[in-house]
Amino acid sequence: MSGRRLVQSIAGFIDYLFAPGLCLACGCELDNAESLCDCCAERLQRVPNPCLYCAQPNPVEGQVCPACLLNPPRWQRMIAPLQYRGLTRDYLQQLKYSEALHLSKTLCRQCFGPFRQCAPKPEVLLPVPLHRERLRERGYNQADEIAILWSREFGIPVERKALTRLRATPSQSGLSANQRAQNVRRAFAYETIHDYRHVAIVDDIVTTGSTVGEITKTLHRAGVEYVEVWALARVYHR
């Protein structure tokens, strides 16, 4: 490449860096560093009045919904701010199946608030692991990607090797709640050199909660007292 062409291409790259970005969803010009315009950001619908335990809408006053008061989950708190539908669902599917890793950043940036407000913060973030064969096929674990972004934002370390998946369980999709629970029974192991008391399990989506419920059981058995579940999106499940 000639000196002149090199200078031109560097200048082009600098232009590119400072040009206003385009909204990922509608393509309109953006005047800030976000990747979605305000209109499209609103299409990522929040869960209204979420229950402290199940992160689904609480129909009554108070922190905990009647279903969780009657039958509390194993974990001590769940945060999953977005409804798994519409644009959120499209983006999470692209993140999981189409290597669209940049979408983890787009989604995380839109819903830092509820995690930031959570106090005291967990000592460590533990991404839900893939079985090593599935990790090899896919090349990445979307839960790791999300945990790394939250780690940077909140200054909480991530331990990616502490949880392992012992069996390559079949996909949970299409299974009933009972079948899902059976499918992941005793599927996880937890090993760390740290004596954590308060941790957060990180995943992209919570559906019935059977996977994070099974991991919580494993963590409690290992002496962890307070388990939170941090996810981007919640499937309403009742």
The residues that touch Zn ion, with contacts defined as CB under 5 A, are 23, 25-26, 37, 40, 51, 53-54, 65, 68
**Cα–Cα distance for residue pair 207/146, rounded to 1 Å:** 17
At closest approach, how far in Å is the CB of 121 from Zn ion? 22
Whose Cβ is closer to Zn ion: residue 74's or residue 131's? Answer: 74
At closest approach, how far in Å is the CB of 149 from Zn ion? 21
CB count within 10 Å of CB 199 equals 27
Whose Cβ is closer to Zn ion: residue 36's or residue 148's? Answer: 36
List of long-range contacts for 32-40, beta carbons under 8 Å, 24+ apart: 34/109, 35/102, 35/105, 35/106, 35/109, 36/106, 36/110, 40/87
Residue 9 class from Cβ within 10 Å (0-12 exposed, 13-18 middle, 19+ buried)? exposed
Whose Cβ is closer to Zn ion: residue 106's or residue 141's? Answer: 106
**Considering only CA atoms, which of 117, 114, 111 is closest in space to residue 42?**
111
Whose Cβ is closer to Zn ion: residue 21's or residue 181's? Answer: 21
